[in-house]
Amino acid sequence: MFQKRRMKIAIGCLFILVIQSAVGATATEKHYGNYVCQIYSDGSGSIGRPEELKNFNDVWSFNIKKDQITDKTKVTAQRYAYTDTKEFGEIRLKTDISLWLNLTDRRSEYLCVAGNNFPGKRAVIRVGKNAPITTNKSGCVRISNSLNSQLIKDDHIIIRGYHWPYEGAETQTINLDGYRQLKECLHRERGK
């Protein structure tokens, strides 16, 4: 089973490399301490330590898009749950939920549990050992100064969501490593 999974991951990585080389996709790199923010011409990108980016490990991915009608820049970021194994190192978990950030408007940035879509169920987040926070009906919570400080200070967030059609909760731990650098990079790209 692990061999099949490893082969799928290798094929996926190879596919991405082939596509990027075929279209000549090169990223603009900006450095934030030990982190590198890579931004491609289509607005997609990722941020992590160089060795994490090179090995396709657990990093933040993001997208910066300008709306064709309003010319407003939409900025979102996402991070998935990973586990560390002896045989294969870091492996992304197959899960229906993930951490999603909407950083489009500097006055109201949101943290969401992507995939939380069961009617009547609200997602819950917990940063480190801080008190749990229940999201709105959309699975989101506004990133207040207090929440932002927690996200910068702590190394992980626990998210719990309810993905249709299963009413049972799915709980995942997401690494927050590089959160501060992610926001710094994306705020610069957004134009503050």
- Rounded to whole angstroms, what are the CA distances from 48 to 36, 54, 60, 62, 72? 6, 9, 7, 12, 26
Q: Which domain holds residue 54?
A: 27-190
pLDDT, residue 54, reads 87
Mean of all residue pLDDT scores within the chain? 87
Global model pTM greater than 0.75: yes
In a domain, 93, yes or no: yes
pLDDT, residue 118, reads 94
Residue 45 sits in a domain of what CATH number? 2.60.40.1880
Specify the number of domains making up the chain. Answer: 1
